[in-house]
Structure formats: C-alpha cells, structure tokens
Amino acid sequence: MQLNSGEWLTVGRAAWLASQQIALPAQAEDAALAFASQVMIADKAGWLATLYLIDQPVKDAEPSVKHLLASGYVVAMISGDRQGQ
C-alpha cells in the first residue's frame, strides 16, 4: 500500500510478512488473540503494528441457521477468523 507521502506499507498476516523478509519481534503477536483475524503493518524499517479484528455473530444468527437447516438447506460458515491457529 502506498501512502500519499510516497512511503510504502506492507499489510498482511504474519506468515506473509515473513515471506517478504520482514522480521517480526516477539511482541508482534498476542497469543491471547489467536482466535481473531490478524493484520500486520510494516514499513521499510520493519514491523509497526498488529491489528486484531473480531466479528460478533448477530443476535438472530442461531435461530436463523436452525430455520435454514430445518427447511432442508445446507449451511456453511465461511470466515477469515483464525480459529486459534
């Protein structure tokens, strides 16, 4: 991603930043947030920050899914969450 200043930022998950030869310090990842979607940001000097994104299911998700299943639909959840990996 190129900023208006012309500086480039690298944005992605830990494995991708590592594949770009960007060293990640120990504090770059928080094991307590292993379930959340992870977005890391780095510039030419290295790692800058890690963002953790979490979605909460909407209140009627469970009854809606049960209704679809009872109606004969096949239901699958597709998510970017890391599931503790």
HEC string for 45-63 = CEEEEEEEECCCCCCCHHH
pLDDT digit string, tens, across residues 5-63: 888 899 998 889 999 999 999 889 898 888 888 899 999 999 999 999 887 778 888 89
CB 17 within 8 A of CB 40: yes
Look up the pTM and report it.
Answer: 0.63
Which pLDDT does position 54 carry in this prediction? Answer: 82
**How far apart are the C-alpha atoms of 30 and 44, rounded to whole Å?**
23
CB 58 within 8 A of CB 44: no
Residue whose entry in the numeric block shows the structure tokens 């049960």: 66
